[in-house]
């Protein structure tokens, strides 16, 4: 936490947007998050990796038919931190 009470993780609008999107669902496909946040795949991957490293996001990989897919979800810890009271 910084002096103003903001979780350092959410200092970037990108991570805040990702967390806000994921807080509205149990799980979201990578592509849906990418399109909503208007990010390139590498930019989303980099930010998700940072959120995953600190335990705020989980990443699940699988297949739909033969096509590989990646799903993202907030952890309980991530949901608590993404709460508007803690982000502002």
pLDDT in tens, 61-83: 999 999 999 999 999 999 987 66
Q: What are phi and psi of 83, to 5 degrees?
A: -55, 135
Cα–Cα distances in Å, from 47 out to 33, 63, 65? 12, 23, 28
Is residue 84 pLDDT above 70, yes or no? no
Distance of CA 84 to the CA centre of its chain: 15
pTM score over 0.75: yes
pLDDT in tens, 14-42: 999 999 999 999 999 999 999 999 999 99
Span 8-87: which CATH code? Answer: 1.10.10.10
C-alpha to C-alpha distance for 83 and 41, rounded to whole angstroms: 25
DSSP state of 11: G
């Amino acid at each position: 936490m910084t002096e103003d009470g903001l979780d350092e993780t959410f200092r970037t609008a990108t991570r805040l947007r990702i967390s806000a999107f994921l807080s509205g669902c149990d799980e979201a496909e990578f592509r849906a998050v990418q399109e909503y946040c208007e990010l390139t795949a590498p930019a989303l991957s980099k930010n998700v990796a940072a959120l995953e490293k600190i335990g705020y996001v989980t990443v699940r990989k699988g297949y739909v038919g033969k096509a590989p897919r990646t799903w993202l979800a907030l952890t309980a810890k991530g949901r608590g931190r993404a709460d508007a009271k803690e982000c502002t």
